[in-house]
Amino acid sequence: MIKSSLKQAVAAAVLVGFGTGAHAAVTDVGEVTSAFPVSFNGAVLGGAQTFSDIFTFNISEPNVGSGYSVVNFPVSIPDVGSFGTILATLSLLTYGDDGIRGTDDDVLLKSTVLPSTGNSPDSLSLSWDQPLIGPAYLNITGVTSGTLGGLYSGSISVSPVPETETYAMLLAGLGLMGAVVRRRNAAKRM
């Protein structure tokens, strides 16, 4: 369970912004395919800085779902300082009907907000179990916990739609198993 003071610190940092202006970066990670996950990194300089970073991407191939994760990447440099982040939210959004990010018609598909089951201030993840094609983006928020700032790393993966040959092999296998079971039952009766 997350300590109450830690939850309050994250909430205060995200909502108030510590009065020093929040960090906001937009990074295009490009095309995401089912061949391999796409990774991305974020860096925020300065201690106790809030951030709300956006990572845009495009999925052009048919899929049955996608997964998203982001983790804190703590680094300590002796006699200099440290980097660390407290992650608060991970949200998946699409551009909406106008095809432009950041307008009123953007659609929030799913969001992970702390505290939530399976997530922590060091690691957030979410999965989208419906097809997603076209431009979309992740919005990651949090606050730096290191004296020098914060670093984090993330990943986007897509589950491909099985090809028709896969379904044909599955049906053939089920048919073969049914024939074997039927034959065994017939042999037992004799």
What span, in angstroms and rounded, lies between the C-alpha atoms of 106 and 170? 39
The answer to whether residue 188 sits within a structural domain is no
- DSSP 3-state of 98: coil
Mean pLDDT of 92-116: 93
- CATH number for the domain harbouring residue 109: 2.60.120.380
pLDDT per residue over 38-85, tens digit each? 999 999 999 999 999 999 999 988 888 999 999 999 999 999 999 999
The answer to whether residue 56 sits within a structural domain is yes
Judged against a pLDDT cut of 60, whether residue 1 lies above it is answered with: no
The answer to whether residue 183 sits within a structural domain is no
Return the top range by mean pLDDT from 11-25, 115-129, 150-164. Answer: 115-129
- pLDDT in the model for residue 22: 63
Q: What beta strand segments (E) does 84-129 contain?
A: 85-94, 107-113, 123-128
- DSSP 3-state of 62: coil
Tokens 């999965």 belong to residue:
127
The answer to whether residue 79 sits within a structural domain is yes
Return the closest-CA partner of residue 30 out of 40, 15, 20, 44.
40
Domain that residue 24 falls in? 4-161
The answer to whether residue 167 sits within a structural domain is no
Q: What beta strand segments (E) does 26-178 contain?
A: 26-32, 38-45, 50-59, 63-72, 75-77, 81-83, 85-94, 107-113, 123-128, 134-144, 149-160
Structural domain count of the chain? 1
- pLDDT in the model for residue 185: 75
Q: What is the share, in percent, of the chain residues with pLDDT greater than 70? A: 81
- pLDDT in the model for residue 6: 45
The answer to whether residue 180 sits within a structural domain is no
- pLDDT in the model for residue 148: 97
